Amino acid sequence: MDKQLEKGPNSSLEINKLIYHISRKLCYQILPLYFASKIIGKENIPIKEPAILASKHTYWFDLVTTACHIDRTIYTFAKTAYFDRTTMINRLRRWWFKKMGAFNVNENGDQIGLRPSDIDLILEPLKMGSLLLIYPEGTRVEGRIGKFEKGLGATVRMQAEKNGHPRLPVIPMSPAYSGKPFNSRSSYIPFWERIKVALVIGKPIYYNGETSREFTQRIKEKITECYLSAEALVNA
């Protein structure tokens, strides 16, 4: 597990080593009560080097599936909705997600768009030597690969240009499920509605000087391959 578990230079990164470790241990012990998991391609995750994890996003549970099965610290670029403060439950959820490494460049939801300074925040976990999880679709999409949001290819290109590190790996991946996780009251009963879960992790992709759009398309093709493989596993 990464050494850089403390708050990074940017105050928006508030991962907590104790909360992260305990949450992951509990998750790892509890998941087998509800899921039969199969992980393919775990060896494609770098042991120490920074990398972007570019994942298909199907259910809210994707973050849990990924964090529990990858033995490194993961920072997650999450959507603004996860940082809502309108209710006590939302404030508690926001606190926990931030301690687990979730962050957003626009947590206040002021719709100001992506500023040049925001790229530095997005790249901060990589500068710390950690893994950065991004969902290129921008939201949950069931049953297919959704349209990718702009920015993934540009972010990797800018990282290469600013830091002279063009070999930053982008790891395509996709979880899949034979049913919706915790979708009914009975699903909370251990072993009652145990579903299949697959996480397929592809080989690293590297930026080779193409345009941002071309690079993003190449990532999308590889994520699609992971998604189809994961779906085949849970439906076998």
Residue with tokens 């920015």: 151
170-177 and 195-201 beta bridge pairing:
antiparallel
* pLDDT one-digit tens code per residue, 91-131: 887 888 888 888 876 555 444 344 555 677 778 888 888 99
Distance between first and last Cα of the chain: 33
Give the Cα separation of 175 and 78 in Å (integer).
17
**Residue 43 included in any domain:** yes
**Residue 6 included in any domain:** no
**Residue 181 included in any domain:** yes
**Residue 194 included in any domain:** yes
**Residue 155 included in any domain:** yes
Q: What are phi and psi of 205, to 5 degrees?
A: -115, 140
Instruction: Look at residue 209 and tell me whether its pLDDT is greater than 90.
Output: no
Range of the domain at 97: 17-234
* pLDDT one-digit tens code per residue, 186-200: 666 766 778 899 999
Say how many domains are in the chain: 1
**Residue 67 included in any domain:** yes
* CB 176, CB 129: distance < 8 Å: no
Across the chain, what does the average pLDDT equal?
A: 81
The two three-digit tokens of residue 77, written as one number: 């670029």
CATH number at residue 115: 3.40.1130
**Residue 11 included in any domain:** no
**Residue 4 included in any domain:** no
